[in-house]
C-alpha cells in the first residue's frame, strides 16, 4: 500500500509541476509529427529488438534497485517510486492527455505494476529489518524472490514498449 501511495503522490506532484509547461496543443503535436517522418521502417525509428534489450535491462535494474534498496529502512524504494510517479505525472501535465496515454499506457501498466511490486517488497524488507528478531537472510531471500517474479511484468512491458508503443503512437500522431 505504501508503494502505491508513493507512486500516486509522485504522479500528483509531477502533474502539478508540469501543468504550467503545457504548451503543446493539438496544432503543435501535428507540426512535430509531420517533422518526424524519417523512420527506419514502418513506425520504428530504430531497431525494436535493440530497443527491447535496452528497455528490459534498464527497467530490470530499476526494479531490482527498488527492491534491494529497501535494506535501508525502506525509504529508498518509496522515494524511487515517488520519482517515477513524478515523471509520469509530469508527462501527463505537459502533453495532451491522449498523446500521453498512448505513449505511457501501452506498456506502463505492466512496467509500473512490476515497479510497485518490487518497491513494495523493498519497503517490506526495510520494515522487517527494523525488527531485530527477524532472520535477515530469509527476509532478503523473500525479497529477491518477489523481485524476480516482478521481472515477468518488466519483460512484458519491454516487449510492448519496443514493438507496440511505436505503432500505437504512429496511429495517433
pLDDT along the chain (173 residues), means of 10: 78 76 60 54 69 91 92 87 88 80 86 93 90 86 94 94 83 72
Residue carrying C-alpha cell 517474479: 149
Sign of CA dihedral 148, 151, 8, 22: positive
For the chain, what are the domain ranges?
Answer: 2-15+48-168
Tell me 41's DSSP state: B
Cα distances (angstroms) measured from residue 63 to each of 92, 97, 133, 149, 163: 22, 26, 27, 11, 21
Instruction: Report the distance separating Cα 30 and Cα 132, nearest Å.
Output: 59
Q: How much is the pTM?
A: 0.82
For residue 44, give the 3-state DSSP assignment: strand
Would you call 38 exposed, middle or buried from its count of C-beta atoms within 10 A (0-12, 13-18, 19+)? Answer: exposed
Instruction: Report the distance separating Cα 93 and Cα 17, nearest Å.
Output: 7
Quote the pLDDT of residue 22. Answer: 67
Amino acid at each position: 500500500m505504501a508503494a502505491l501511495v508513493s507512486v500516486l503522490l509522485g504522479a500528483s506532484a509531477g502533474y502539478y509541476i508540469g501543468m504550467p509547461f503545457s504548451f503543446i496543443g493539438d496544432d503543435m503535436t501535428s507540426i512535430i509529427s509531420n517533422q518526424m517522418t524519417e523512420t527506419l521502417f514502418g513506425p520504428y525509428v530504430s531497431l525494436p529488438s535493440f530497443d527491447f534489450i535496452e528497455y528490459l535491462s534498464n527497467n530490470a535494474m530499476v526494479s531490482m534497485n527498488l527492491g534491494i534498496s529497501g535494506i535501508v529502512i525502506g525509504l529508498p524504494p518509496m522515494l524511487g517510486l515517488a520519482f517515477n510517479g513524478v515523471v509520469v505525472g509530469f508527462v501527463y501535465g505537459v502533453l495532451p492527455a491522449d498523446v500521453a496515454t498512448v505513449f505511457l499506457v501501452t506498456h506502463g501498466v505492466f512496467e509500473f505494476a512490476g515497479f510497485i511490486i518490487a518497491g513494495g517488497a523493498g519497503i517490506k524488507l526495510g520494515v522487517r529489518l527494523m525488527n531485530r528478531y527477524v532472520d535477515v537472510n530469509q527476509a532478503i531471500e523473500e525479497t529477491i524472490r518477489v523481485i524476480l517474479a516482478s521481472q515477468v511484468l518488466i519483460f512484458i512491458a519491454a516487449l510492448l514498449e519496443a514493438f507496440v508503443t511505436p505503432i500505437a503512437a504512429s496511429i495517433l500522431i
